[in-house]
Amino acid sequence: MEQLDLFAAAEETPVPATFVARPKSPRPVVVPSAPRLPSVPSRVVAADDDTGALFADSCVELPSVQTLIPSLRRFAPLLVGNPRDTGQRLGEAVADTWHASNWSGYRIDIPVSIVGALALFPVKGHNEDVARIISNCSDWELLQGYREIYGRTWLHRPDLGVRMAPLMRWLTEDGVEEKAYAVRRVTETALRYGILQLTGDPDPSNRSDTDVMSWTITSLRSQGARQGLGEYHTPSEVCDLMAAVTCTEAPEKGARFHEPAGGTGGMFRALAQRLRHLLADPADYEWALNELEPLAAAGAAVNAIVWGLGPNVVIACGDTLAHGDLQEQARRERRGQFEERDEILGRIAVAQAVLEAITLTDRLFGLKAV
């Protein structure tokens, strides 16, 4: 099976411009960056049909903490012990914070979206600085920063980005600013309970110790909702045991793993870690997951990136009992999603070129008039 390198590029997604729009520091940390939406990337390279276009590399300076805000709050996270226990505490704390806010109840997609965006935050290895920058954003910057994280995720991985739609919709709704207080409280809770320590390591192996999306979703759902949906995620210890028993040696590259009722991908997390233990790279394999509940499927899409599963991930959402294997349909849609992304980028490039031509023409006629 042909393997592609798009996913590796996606993990180097530049920091959203909103989160770095701060005064420059005399001692910067240099991180990769790219133009802000809706401008087109500075370079689009040809690739296979399944990959489409990639961002070019550029650099911006991530300012030091001392230059951000004169009265800077210290935002130290709680100590992270066992990652799984920490993931559970994180999910429970986020749920408690959300339900205590004015926007509690049925809109659990919003806190799940916040945790997902923080897990996807593209700068890895600078967790303390990132936490302080985010916590000191204005309300508008915070909301815009989350939009940019999901927007750039879609640009790099439209197949997974489309599956994350349940996590993005609230950011485009009317009156989203009214939710800013609750959004900030959930953000601060997630930062304090170690979301960046769990998902902010440059090594995907260290980001795969726990499933923060599962803990967040299950903590937010009521017992009645879980019973109604039949949503009971397999405990991580059971997943680890099953992976160790069923995968005693690394399969050949290109092998396909299929999970027909995958939830947020807990079995895939365990199997990916098992492959790494066997000195294999999860990106060398194909991962096919189906999940009935859209929010859990969106969580699986986030996890596929956080855990470094590679470019060959197909996530379907639907009822396999009613419609059978949905993976073939998901694969067809995947190719179309990359093509649609490339078409949109092409239109943006044309529109930008036209605007530049008009500007140059106006300038030229202005000079002649003088």
pLDDT at 323: 73
Which residues lie closer than 8 Å to 24 by C-beta, 6 or more apart? 61, 63, 67
pLDDT above 90: residue 163 = yes
- For 192, counting Cβ atoms within 10 Å of its Cβ (0-12 exposed, 13-18 middle, 19+ buried), the class is middle
Structure tokens at 298: 């969106």
pLDDT at 17: 59
pLDDT above 70: residue 308 = yes
* DSSP letter assigned to residue 283: G
Please name which of 292, 101, 112 lies closest in space to residue 212, comparing C-alpha atoms.
Answer: 112
pLDDT at 67: 35
pLDDT above 80: residue 182 = yes
Of 78-82, 111-115, 247-251, 286-290, minimum mean pLDDT range = 78-82
Q: For 197-209, how does the pLDDT look when each residue is reduced to its tens digit (9 = 90+)?
A: 999 999 999 999 9
pLDDT above 50: residue 177 = yes
Categorize the per-residue pLDDT at 136 as very low, low, confident or very high, splitting at 50, 70 and 90. Answer: very high
**In degrees, to the nearest 5, what angle opens at C-alpha 304 toward C-alphas 5 and 344?**
60
pLDDT above 60: residue 229 = no
Counting every residue written for the chain, the total comes to 370
Mean pLDDT of 177-197: 95
Dihedral sign for Cα 330, 230, 259, 90, please: positive
Mean pLDDT of 290-310: 96
**In degrees, to the nearest 5, what angle opens at C-alpha 224 toward C-alphas 219 and 226?**
50
Categorize the per-residue pLDDT at 224 as very low, low, confident or very high, splitting at 50, 70 and 90. Answer: low
CB of 282 closer than 8 Å to CB of 311 = no
pLDDT above 90: residue 195 = yes
Q: How far is CA 56 from CA 10, 45, 273, 350, in A?
A: 11, 8, 30, 18
Categorize the per-residue pLDDT at 25 as very low, low, confident or very high, splitting at 50, 70 and 90. Answer: very low
Distance of CA 273 to the CA centre of its chain: 19
pLDDT above 80: residue 78 = no
The amino acid at 34? A
CA distance 210 to 212: 6
In the block, tokens 């005693």 appear at: 248
Q: In what order do the strands lie in the sheet with 313-317?
A: 256-259, 286-291, 313-317
CA distance 156 to 11: 9
Q: What is the mean pLDDT of the chain?
A: 78
Query: Biggest alpha carbon distance in the chain?
Result: 81
- Percentage of the chain exceeding pLDDT 70: 72
Q: For 318-359, how does the pLDDT look when each residue is reduced to its tens digit (9 = 90+)?
A: 887 777 678 888 888 888 888 888 888 888 888 888 788 877
Please name which of 284, 238, 296 lies closest in space to residue 257, comparing C-alpha atoms.
Answer: 284
Of 94-108, 226-240, 245-259, 342-356, minimum mean pLDDT range = 226-240
Tell me the whole-structure pTM to 2 decimals.
Answer: 0.75
pLDDT above 60: residue 157 = yes
